[in-house]
Amino acid sequence: MSSESNVSSSAPATVRATVVQAATVFHDTAATLDKVEKLIAEAAALGSQLVVFPEAFVGGQPRGTNFVEWLTKEGKEKFRKYHASAIDIPGPEIERLAGMAGKYGVYLVIGVIERDGYTLYCTVVFFDPQGQYLGKHQKLMPTATERLVWGFGDGSMPVFPTPIGKIGSVICWENMMPLLRTAMYTKGVEIYCAPTADTSLNWQSTVNHIAREGGCFVLSACQFCRRSDYPPPPEYTFSDDASLSPDSVVAAGGSVIISPSGTILAGPNFEGEGLITADLDLGDIARAKFGLDVVGHYSRPDVLGLVVKDGHNSFTFNK
């Protein structure tokens, strides 16, 4: 068996974390980054050590779109604009985000649309309070028709050991891939960031289950958007635009922070943009794992095993 320890003995007793629920400034990456900095500053003023943003926050979630229409002449122009809003890694936007993390002294986890040539990826990037870029996770499996727009991730599933605990991220419906979750638990994730675009009540059940299953804190960040947060038609069209007013809610949020026992610590917020903040008692991890440790005493390695090809690395969890 090869796996990483799931104990962070040097971590503080309590970590203050903030999940951001807000809307991208669609087709305006510079303005979105200005908004990111404002929200980080507000979270830092609350004493937060970790700030988590939603899926695809920089670059935007093309919500309400029939992606099949992007195969038309007009749709290809929409893709051109979307491609122009994405960011390169490394690149100037990554440098700016790193600078924000350093300026406000926070760990930053944020969803971006990554541009690699002419292929786009739904990606989460990580930064430390010293302003260092730590790495990234690309969404392994874009959901449904997202596959027409985003590439398949490279397979990297990092968990970063930090002074505030081991931090990792799984994006949206990747969280319903049981083997991916098991890989994250095997790597010892303690603060499990789940940026998403899913605003449903079913999603609340999913992230609550993950917290209990993994014995970890789950921080789920989702955008709250109104029709007015997107360009007006014909530049940007929703499939049901005729029934929408500028104030119509097109993404209802639901951001939430959940403890390893499944207790809701903050949220869910379905009311509007805002910061969802909670203090994470890291002792709750050991308390939860006393009864259920799915990669420890509950793993039954004599019956079940897991082989992971993590980017360029592979490991087997099978004692």
CA–CA dist 32, 37 (Å, integer) = 9
Neighbouring CB atoms inside 10 A of 245's CB total 8
Catalytic residue among 35, 55, 193, 289: 55
β-bridge pairing 119-127 and 133-138: antiparallel
Neighbouring CB atoms inside 10 A of 229's CB total 20
CA–CA dist 214, 63 (Å, integer) = 30
Q: Whose CA is closest to 238, among 62, 15, 65?
A: 65
Q: Is 172 a catalytic residue?
A: yes
Q: Is 190 a catalytic residue?
A: no
Helix (H), strand (E) at residue 308: strand 306-310
Helices and strands: H and E segment counts in the chain = 6, 16
Give burial (CB, 10 Å; 0-12/13-18/19+) of 93: buried
Q: Whose CA is closest to 287, among 193, 194, 206, 190?
A: 190
Q: Whose CA is closest to 61, among 85, 45, 97?
A: 85
Catalytic residue among 35, 78, 136, 139: 139
Catalytic residue among 122, 136, 166, 172: 172
CA–CA dist 212, 288 (Å, integer) = 8
- Compute the residue count for the chain: 319
Q: Is 166 a catalytic residue?
A: no
Q: Which residues are catalytic?
A: 55, 139, 172
